[in-house]
Amino acid sequence: MTKLVVRPYRTEDARALTDIFYDTVHRIGLVHYTQAQVNAWAPQPKEYERWQQRLAQWPPIVAEFDGRVVGFITLTPSGHIEWTYTHADLQRQGIASRLYRHLEQEARQQRMGRLTVDASRFARPFFEAKGFAVVRENQTVRQGEKLQNWRMEKRL
Ligand X SMILES: CC(C)(COP(=O)(O)OP(=O)(O)OC[C@H]1O[C@@H](n2cnc3c(N)ncnc32)[C@H](O)[C@@H]1OP(=O)(O)O)[C@@H](O)C(=O)NCCC(=O)NCCS
H or E element: which one contains 75?
Answer: strand 68-75
Beta carbons of 84 and 126 less than 8 angstroms apart: yes
Q: Which is nearer to ligand X, 89 or 106 (CB)?
A: 89
| Burial state string for 4-35 with b = 16 or more CB within 10 A and e = fewer than 16 | bebeebeeebbebbbebbbbbbbebbeeebee
Q: Which is nearer to ligand X, 81 or 111 (CB)?
A: 81
The number of residues that bind ligand X (CB under 6 A) is 19
Near ligand X by CB under 6 A, which window of 9-17, 44-52, 121-129, 134-142? 121-129
**Nearest partner of 106 among 115, 93, 119, judged by Cα:** 115
Residue 120 binding ligand X, by CB under 6 A: yes
Angle at the Cα of 38 from the Cα atoms of 34 and 43, rounded to 5 degrees: 145
Contacts to ligand X from residues 37-96, by CB under 6 A: 84-86, 91-96
Beta carbons of 79 and 94 less than 8 angstroms apart: no
Q: Which is nearer to ligand X, 59 or 121 (CB)?
A: 121
Near ligand X by CB under 6 A, which window of 3-11, 52-60, 116-124, 132-140? 116-124
Q: Which is nearer to ligand X, 52 or 82 (CB)?
A: 82
Contacts to ligand X from residues 126-155, by CB under 6 A: 126, 129
Q: Which residues bind ligand X (CB under 6 A)?
A: 24, 28, 84-86, 91-97, 119-120, 122-123, 125-126, 129
